[in-house]
């Protein structure tokens, strides 16, 4: 069974329209990029985004995120960054943070330090592990154990109430083997 090729533009459409959240929309794109279409990665980046005529701040943020992602992934995987990603419309006038920062404000400071340059230039802050993937075709930092270690380091810096909320939220969506405990 062949799956539909989930391009970055499709992920944007799902995010901008609210059809899907980050984990599903970007997760499906990552599956295409790291698993199903490794020989067609350029095609996954090349399709331009279709922004609404009068986008909301969130839609602009996701567009800037996707433009940063196109440049970041092109650099990391020896691809060509598509011309659409360099359009100044994808540079935000003020910082935009990955939605995880709304629930966990302590992440902002970390994301401001760790976010790769293709995102930073667009005023998007999402951290360095936004595309972490344990698949062998991935050149992204961290495997599952490293990711868990770093997450525990991050939790140690949070206030107890914020940490407890983060762990409960995280564990609710993870299989038992990947759940966090302190």
Q: Is residue 98 part of a domain?
A: yes
Residue 26 shares a structural domain with residue 110? yes
User: Which has the minimum average pLDDT: 98-107, 122-131, 154-163?
Assistant: 98-107
Residue 1 has pLDDT above 50, yes or no: no
Q: Whole-prediction pTM value?
A: 0.75
Residue 171's domain comprises 143-182
Asked if residue 12 lies in contact with residue 62, where contact means CB atoms within 8 angstroms, the answer is yes
Q: Which tens digit of pLDDT belongs to each residue from 16-64?
A: 999 999 889 998 999 899 888 989 999 999 999 999 999 999 999 999 9
Q: Which tens digit of pLDDT belongs to each residue from 169-182?
A: 888 877 776 677 76
The total number of structural domains that make up the chain: 2
For residue 57, the number of C-alpha atoms closer than 13 Å in the C-beta half-sphere is 9
């Amino acid at each position: 069974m062949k799956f539909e090729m989930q391009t970055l533009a499709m992920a944007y459409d799902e995010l901008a329209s609210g059809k899907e959240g980050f984990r599903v929309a970007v997760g499906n794109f990552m599956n295409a990029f790291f698993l199903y279409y490794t020989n067609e990665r350029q095609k996954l980046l090349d399709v331009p985004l279709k922004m609404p005529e009068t986008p909301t701040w969130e839609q602009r943020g996701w567009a800037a995120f996707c433009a940063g992602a196109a440049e970041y992934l092109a650099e990391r995987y020896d691809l060509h960054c598509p011309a659409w990603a360099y359009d100044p419309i994808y540079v935000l006038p003020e910082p935009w943070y990955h939605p995880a920062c709304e629930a966990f404000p302590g992440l902002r400071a970390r994301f401001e330090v760790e976010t790769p340059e293709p995102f930073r230039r667009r005023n998007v802050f999402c951290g360095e592990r936004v595309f972490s993937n344990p698949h062998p075709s991935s050149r992204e930092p961290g495997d599952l154990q490293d990711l868990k270690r770093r997450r525990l380091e991050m939790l140690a810096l949070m206030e107890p109430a914020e940490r407890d909320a983060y762990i409960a939220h995280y564990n609710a969506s993870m299989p038992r083997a990947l759940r966090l405990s302190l």
